[in-house]
Amino acid sequence: MSAQPREIENYRTLDERSPFEEWLNALRDSKAKNIIKARLRRIALGNLGDYRSVGSGVCEFRIDYGPGYRIYFGQIGTRIVILLCGGDKSTQQQDIRKAIEYWEDYRR
């Protein structure tokens, strides 16, 4: 079975902010940024890698580097992955709550 390419779309708030892009741009660790961007390229090619559901239609991609980075997303069908926000293990519960809030907003 071959991997199915995915279209990656960044969630935007009503005022056109992208919480995920803001989080990624604020990271100071350039190696972490490169690892996360490489992971996004693999996801776009259809290799989702390590991920799990966190509830309410939201999942997290787990990145085993540094503090344990997470990228939260929802899926519509098999084509589109919506990036909601990012974080690390230390802020995981707050990040999940925020991702679920963004996902509910997106689906309205």
What is the pLDDT at residue 37?
Answer: 97
What lies within 8 Å, CB to CB, of 85 at 6+ separation is 11, 19, 20, 23, 71, 72, 95, 98, 99, 102
Please state the pTM of the whole predicted model. 0.92
For the segment 8-42, what is each residue's pLDDT rounded down to a tens digit? 999 999 999 999 999 999 999 999 999 999 999 99
Fold classification of 7-107 is: YaeB-like fold (3.30.2310)
Structure letter (DSSP) for residue 91: G
pLDDT band at 78 (very low <50, low <70, confident <90, very high): confident
